[in-house]
């Protein structure tokens, strides 16, 4: 029975199929009956195809033209808005000339809020001061895209709030994609112009409830896919610290504005490092929270988590911001945000931490300065009592290509390219976009050909092919979960609290970020893992870092490594930062770790500055001492000249006196009358010299030399009056008489050496009458006599070097030296052999 029933039903089904086929066969026949038969000429078909192509291209050109017109209109609107902003600032300045802008701008966020709440500062003065500074910074670096005119009305609403919020009266800046009612979020694309937001984003609503005043929106990169900051609507933003460098991206406008002083608190978005990279390039503190800890405009990409986060000048500002945002308003307005208030206990804790660290991820070796920053911070943390443990993140090359790039461009970049069909690609993104535009087959071929020589680029091209089936996408998601468990397992095996690691930097030269997209491996890892991560500046690039960069080869020494070296050249003085990471939903611990790093880095910087200042003071003191000694030497040299003149006068006087006595005995006094006159003039000169040195003991030193009386016991008989042997030569100066001066205003150990050759300029004197030779008696003077004064402060023939190591007084260079005829005869008259009265002729 069942068999018969089954056979009957099978026959019915078969008959229905046959009838259906018959009806389908009749459809073309009926269509031919309804439509007239027309013979198509091939030329007509060609014309139709060409016309369709022309129409399509014309329509596309018109749409692009319309987009360009919108872009031009957007630029005009920006100029108009900034003009209104400047007019409002000038009007406020005229009405309130007493406002001290520099004082307001110098206050950190914590102190600013305190003064606003207590009333010592008004919200108006703070807002207009930052508006003025933002205009100045924008003129310098081109970072502001829109002025939020509603901030003036919001100012009045803030003043009427019954309860002053945590950010009462604080002007804040927001990144372009963060929605604000009545203002456009362009994402760097002209096609979004003309479509203003219908309502405020949840983040903006919470900021307003906490008393903050959003006043400007800031520039971004085209499509938010580049860590530069340039688009064809508003142009290129540059780094305020060095205009040849990029501020980072895609939140580069925020980084440039805050680093330039035009904003005290800003908000960016981060899907691969867009908060942390501008913070690193511009020397700021930035926090990428766990995905969905804050409500933001960036939604989940299946394997890469994006989020909104704060940027400021210090960690305390970030903590205050998170404390204000993690409130009931945030949890009520966005129920998808977990109701986790800010944990003040964790942030304020001082318990020592177990910190993992690494200076390279094994995929992209960062420049020497970034690795130096990690090791210096590690040493500071160890000295502060924390436990530092080496940590190696697993398989970063696999994460970069198979999880990050393939997950971000799972469709091979089709959605992105569709957005760019009606746009002109920004020049800074051309290299990146051109890779996305390659056909699937060509990507595979190039990946195969470049693998032996350029393995990283080969893997990158394979990743850009994306996944083209739901099965492959499910495998990708499963692989992500497996990697997260592997990473967490390694973290827990070491019992870590946080991790210290490098961040990409220092700031790249303009044009390089779009050509080194793979260099973001240090930041993209924690987007894939969905861990909170922050950036803290700790030092700056030094000349030694620049020198070490010349020897940088990277892990692969391939074109990317060489390009990275070129990108960061010329960065001396730019900030260098480190990255601090915690486990998911532990933003407070991450901030606490960042605060500890910031505190230690600032203390180290202060110590270094104090040491440099102390060294500079010592150097200045040394220079002052050297200048004083040089002046003393100059003064001493002048007095040495006077001493030399006085000494020469004394010697010549003694000679003339001896000759006078001899001539008097031979009745030749008349012949030496001229000599006596010469003696009188020399005595007058001696008196003048004595008057010029009242500040020194020069007079006392010269007194014994005025008229020494030779003793009969000191002179050998038959000594001729000729001072030198007739055939002797003038030799280089050999000092025979050295006089030491004690001067009150000169270093006591600086002594001046006088040579006898300075005292006798005309020593080689032969008697004019060869047959007349005057014999000196035992009481007469012997030539080349070394006179030793009796004063205790004068020591003959002793060369005393100055005690200062860098100062040495050399003996003067005389013109003539007196060489005694009998070299073995020297007479040193004692004190009792010298006369105090000058004998006259």
Q: Which 8-state DSSP code applies to residue 273?
A: S
Alpha carbon distance 613, 622 (integer Å): 14
Give me Rg for the CA atoms of the chain: 47
In this structure, are residues 739 and 642 in contact, taking their beta carbons and an 8 Å threshold?
Answer: no
Alpha carbon distance 722, 711 (integer Å): 20
Annotated catalytic residue, options 230, 251, 274, 521: 274
H or E, element range at 581: strand 575-581
Nearest to 534 by CA among 275, 326, 344, 303: 275
In this structure, are residues 256 and 237 in contact, taking their beta carbons and an 8 Å threshold?
Answer: yes
- Give Cβ neighbours of residue 48 (< 8 Å, ≥ 6 apart): none
In this structure, are residues 269 and 297 in contact, taking their beta carbons and an 8 Å threshold?
Answer: yes
Alpha carbon distance 581, 590 (integer Å): 6
Alpha carbon distance 810, 683 (integer Å): 29
- Nearest-5° angle of CA 574, CA 235, CA 252? 40
Whole-number Cα distances in Å, 276 to 352, 372, 496, 532, 835:
25, 19, 22, 11, 92
Whole-number Cα distances in Å, 467 to 186, 404, 409, 474, 518:
29, 12, 8, 10, 19
In this structure, are residues 230 and 143 in contact, taking their beta carbons and an 8 Å threshold?
Answer: no
Alpha carbon distance 267, 286 (integer Å): 9
- Give Cβ neighbours of residue 777 (< 8 Å, ≥ 6 apart): 712, 715, 717
Alpha carbon distance 383, 387 (integer Å): 9
H runs (alpha helix) in 670-803:
673-691, 698-702, 756-759
CA 33 to chain CA mean position, Å: 83
Alpha carbon distance 53, 36 (integer Å): 27
Q: Is 550 an active-site residue?
A: no
Alpha carbon distance 218, 226 (integer Å): 16
Nearest to 162 by CA among 110, 112, 211: 211
DSSP secondary structure, 482-506, as one string: HHHHHHHHHHHHTT-SEEEEE-S-S
Q: Is 431 an active-site residue?
A: no
Alpha carbon distance 289, 530 (integer Å): 8
Please state the length of the chain.
841
Annotated catalytic residue, options 175, 288, 443, 753: 175
Q: Is the alpha carbon torsion for 283, 583, 364, 274 positive or negative?
A: negative
DSSP secondary structure, 323-335, as one string: HHHSSHHHHHH-T
What does DSSP say about strands 387-390 and 533-540: parallel, antiparallel, or unpaired?
unpaired
Alpha carbon distance 508, 238 (integer Å): 11
H runs (alpha helix) in 692-727:
698-702
Annotated catalytic residue, options 125, 201, 221, 250: 250
In this structure, are residues 650 and 702 in contact, taking their beta carbons and an 8 Å threshold?
Answer: yes
Hey, what are 551's tokens? Answer: 């020897």
Q: Which 8-state DSSP code applies to residue 201?
A: -
Q: Is the alpha carbon torsion for 35, 36, 39, 42 positive or negative?
A: negative
Alpha carbon distance 14, 20 (integer Å): 10
Alpha carbon distance 355, 348 (integer Å): 17
What does DSSP say about strands 719-720 and 775-776: parallel, antiparallel, or unpaired?
antiparallel
Hey, what are 663's tokens? Answer: 């001539």
Q: Is 728 an active-site residue?
A: no
**Residues labelled as active-site residues:** 175, 250, 274
């Amino acid at each position: 029975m069942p068999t018969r029933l089954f056979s009957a039903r099978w026959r019915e089904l078969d008959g229905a199929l046959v009838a259906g086929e018959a009806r389908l066969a009749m459809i073309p026949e009926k269509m031919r009956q309804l439509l007239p038969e027309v013979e198509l000429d091939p030329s007509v078909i060609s014309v139709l195809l060409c016309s369709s192509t022309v129409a399509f291209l014309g329509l596309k050109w018109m749409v692009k033209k319309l987009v360009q017109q919108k872009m031009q209109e957007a630029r005009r609107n920006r100029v108009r808005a900034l003009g209104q902003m400047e007019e409002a600032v000038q009007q406020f300045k005229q009405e309130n000339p007493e406002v001290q802008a520099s004082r307001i701008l110098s206050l950190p966020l914590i102190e600013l809020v305190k003064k606003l709440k207590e009333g010592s500062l008004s919200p108006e003065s703070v807002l207009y001061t930052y508006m003025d500074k933002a205009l100045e910074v924008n003129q310098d670096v081109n970072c502001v895209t829109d002025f939020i005119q509603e901030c003036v009305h919001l100012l009045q609403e803030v003043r009427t709030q019954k309860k002053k919020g945590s950010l009462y009266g604080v002007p804040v800046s927001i990144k372009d994609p963060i929605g604000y009612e009545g203002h456009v979020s362009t994402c760097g694309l002209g096609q979004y112009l003309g479509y203003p937001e219908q309502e405020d984003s949840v983040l903006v609503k919470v900021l307003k409830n906490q008393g903050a005043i959003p006043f400007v929106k800031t520039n971004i990169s085209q499509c938010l896919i580049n860590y530069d900051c340039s688009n064809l609507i508003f142009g290129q933003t540059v780094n305020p610290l060095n205009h040849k460098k990029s501020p980072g991206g895609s939140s580069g406008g925020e980084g440039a504005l805050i680093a330039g002083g035009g904003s005290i608190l800003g908000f960016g978005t981060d899907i691969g490092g867009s908060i942390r990279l501008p913070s690193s390039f511009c020397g700021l503190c930035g926090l990428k929270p766990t995905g969905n800890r804050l409500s933001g405009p960036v939604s989940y990409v299946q394997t890469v988590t994006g989020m909104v986060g704060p940027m400021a000048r210090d960690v305390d500002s970030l903590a205050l911001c998170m404390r204000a945002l993690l409130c009931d308003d945030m949890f009520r307005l966005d129920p998808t945000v977990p109701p986790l208030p800010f944990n003040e206990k964790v942030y304020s804790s001082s318990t020592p931490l177990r910190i993992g660290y690494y200076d390279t991820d094994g995929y992209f070796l960062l420049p020497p300065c970034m690795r130096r920053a990690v090791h210096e911070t590690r040493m500071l943390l160890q000295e502060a009592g924390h436990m530092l443990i080496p940590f190696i993140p697993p398989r970063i090359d696999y994460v970069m290509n198979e999880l990050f790039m393939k997950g971000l461009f799972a469709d091979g970049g089709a959605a992105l390219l569709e957005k760019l069909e009606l746009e002109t690609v920004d020049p800074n993104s051309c290299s990146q976009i051109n890779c996305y535009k390659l056909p699937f087959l060509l990507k595979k071929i190039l990946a195969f050909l470049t693998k032996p020589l350029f393995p990283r680029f080969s893997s990158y091209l394979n990743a850009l092919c994306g996944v083209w089936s739901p099965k492959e996408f499910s495998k990708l998601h499963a692989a992500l979960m497996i990697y997260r468990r592997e990473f967490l397992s390694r973290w827990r095996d070491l019992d870590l609290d946080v991790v210290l690691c490098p961040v990409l930097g220092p700031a790249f030269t303009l044009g390089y970020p779009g050509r080194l997209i793979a260099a973001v491996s240090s930041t993209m890892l924690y987007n894939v893992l969905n861990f909170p991560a922050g950036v803290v500046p700790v030092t700056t690039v030094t000349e030694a870092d620049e020198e070490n960069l010349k020897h940088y080869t990277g892990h692969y020494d391939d074109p990317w490594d060489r390009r990275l070296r070129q990108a960061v050249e010329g960065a001396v003085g730019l900030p260098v930062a480190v990255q601090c990471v915690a486990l998911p939903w532990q933003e407070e611990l991450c901030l606490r770790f960042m605060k500890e790093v910031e505190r230690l880095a600032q203390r180290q910087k202060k110590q270094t500055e104090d040491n440099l200042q102390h060294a500079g003071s010592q150097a200045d003191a040394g220079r002052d001492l050297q200048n004083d000694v040089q002046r003393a030497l100059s003064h001493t040299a002048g007095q040495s000249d006077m001493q030399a003149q006085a000494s020469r006068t004394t010697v010549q006087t003694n000679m003339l006196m001896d000759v006078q006595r001899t001539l008097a005995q031979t009745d030749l006094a008349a012949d030496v009358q001229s000599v006596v006159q010469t003696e009188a003039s020399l005595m007058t000169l001696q008196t003048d010299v004595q008057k010029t040195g009242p500040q020194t003991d020069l007079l006392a030193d010269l007194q014994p030399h005025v008229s020494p009386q030779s003793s009969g016991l000191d002179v050998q008989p038959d000594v001729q009056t000729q001072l030198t042997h007739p055939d002797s030569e003038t030799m280089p100066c050999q000092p025979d008489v050295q006089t030491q001066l004690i001067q009150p205003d000169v270093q006591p150990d600086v002594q001046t050496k006088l040579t006898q050759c300075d005292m006798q300029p005309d020593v080689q004197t032969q008697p004019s009458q060869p047959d007349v030779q005057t014999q000196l008696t035992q009481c007469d003077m012997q030539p080349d006599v070394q006179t030793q004064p009796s004063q205790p402060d004068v020591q003959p023939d002793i060369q005393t070097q100055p005690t200062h190591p860098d100062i040495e007084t050399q003996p003067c260079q005389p013109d003539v030296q007196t060489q005694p005829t009998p070299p073995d005869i020297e007479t040193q008259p004692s004190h009792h052999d010298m006369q105090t009265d000058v004998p006259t002729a």
